Amino acid sequence: MEVIPRMTLRILLLTFPQNPFNPFRAYPQARTRSFQPQTHPLSSLIIKRHQRSSARVRAGWLSGLVQTKPDFPDITKAGDPVLHEPAQEVRPEDILSERIQKIVDDMIKVMRKAPGVGLAAPQIGVPLRIIVLEDTKEFIGYVPKEEIKAQDRRPFDLLVIINPKLEMKGNKTALFFEGCLSVDGFRAVVERSLNVKVNGLDRDGKPVEVDASGWQARILQHECDHLDGTLYVDKMVQRSFRTVENLDLPLPNGFPKLGVRNASKS
Ligand SMILES: [Zn+2]
């Protein structure tokens, strides 16, 4: 889940255009690099000796060889079927396998690099029921104090939950804007339960239970929705969808007030 606060976003965009906190920054991808052979120092040499098409392939291959930065999976974007279909359970006996551990490691890296406060496996193209989430003092420090209080947002350590089962607790809900790394550049208001309980397995295959409230509960609901093929735009409050740049503009007339509500619609 993408939750760069409105003020921070503008400050960072203005001050640090290459800053990793810039959510508009393109993700480094091997695929992208292979289409930029002219940037490699050897590419001009190769182009002299080969037909243009084969030179592109060759130079791309060489670029790959000299690439030393770690590669991260792409973040899948809205429209990719993996984001719109239910993900499958992970077999408990597979959790300690190299494959699943690598997926978890990749998810953590991608979430932190984006940066986001949560990520579901379908967001790196893996149709499995795995979520990771983490909120840090640093992220929260960028948010205005009144917003932190209203959202009941507190830092929490990294959580990896495999095959999470989400349970809503109580009937209190809250309306707030949220965003998603798979729908970047936009925000919309979503009504979420204020309190939830999630049961699942951690990356060692041990049972994990999380009682969450406030913003952490929202992140958990957002990420668990991903596992059911649901994006926040599928359940947003209508007429609230907007670009990040327009986040501070007033809500339309008659729109419900943001914040905690006592009666649940569901
Ligand atoms: Zn998301």
Active-site amino acid positions:
223
Do 240 and 255 meet the contact criterion of CB atoms below 8 Å apart? yes
- Mean pLDDT over 244-262 rounds to 94
54 C-alpha to ligand 1 centroid (Å):
39
| SS3 per-residue string spanning 72-132 | CCCCCCCCCHHHCCCCECCCHHHCCCHHHHHHHHHHHHHHHHCCCCEEEHHHHCCCECEEE
* 218 contacts: CB under 8 Å, gap ≥ 6: 1, 151, 174, 176, 178, 190, 192
Secondary structure (3-state) at 247: coil
263 C-alpha to ligand 1 centroid (Å):
26
**CB atoms near residue 12 (< 10 Å):** 17
229 C-alpha to ligand 1 centroid (Å):
10
179 C-alpha to ligand 1 centroid (Å):
7
Side-chain-facing half-sphere of 47: CA atoms under 13 Å: 12
Biggest alpha carbon distance in the chain? 72
Lowest mean pLDDT among 42-51, 202-211, 249-258: 42-51
Looking at residue 147, its pLDDT comes to 92
Q: What angle do CA 262, 265, 266 make, to 5 degrees?
A: 115
180 C-alpha to ligand 1 centroid (Å):
4
Do 23 and 114 meet the contact criterion of CB atoms below 8 Å apart? yes
24 C-alpha to ligand 1 centroid (Å):
15
Q: What is the DSSP string of 10-37?
A: HHHHHH-TT-TT-TTSPPP-HHHHHT-G
**The two three-digit tokens of residue 236, written as one number:** 């947003």
Q: What is the mean pLDDT of the chain?
A: 81
Per-residue pLDDT for 148 more than 50?
A: yes
**pTM confidence score:** 0.77
Per-residue pLDDT for 16 more than 90?
A: no
Tell me the torsion sign for CA atoms 194, 208, 226, 229: negative
Phi and psi, residue 85, nearest 5°: -125, 150
pLDDT digits (tens, 9 = 90+) for 108-127: 999 999 999 999 999 999 99
Looking at residue 196, its pLDDT comes to 98
261: nearest Cα among 192, 178, 198, 215 = 192
34 C-alpha to ligand 1 centroid (Å):
28
184: left (phi over 0), alpha (psi -120 to 50) or beta: beta
Preceding amide of 28 cis, omega within 30: no
**The two three-digit tokens of residue 41, written as one number:** 């120092």
57 C-alpha to ligand 1 centroid (Å):
35
Q: What angle do CA 258, 262, 266 make, to 5 degrees?
A: 95
pLDDT digits (tens, 9 = 90+) for 174-214: 999 999 999 999 999 999 999 999 999 999 999 999 999 99
231 C-alpha to ligand 1 centroid (Å):
6
The beta strand positions in 117-233, using DSSP E, are: 118-120, 130-135, 156-178, 186-201, 207-213
Per-residue pLDDT for 170 more than 70?
A: yes
Share of the chain above pLDDT 70, in %: 73
Looking at residue 42, its pLDDT comes to 33
Per-residue pLDDT for 13 more than 50?
A: no
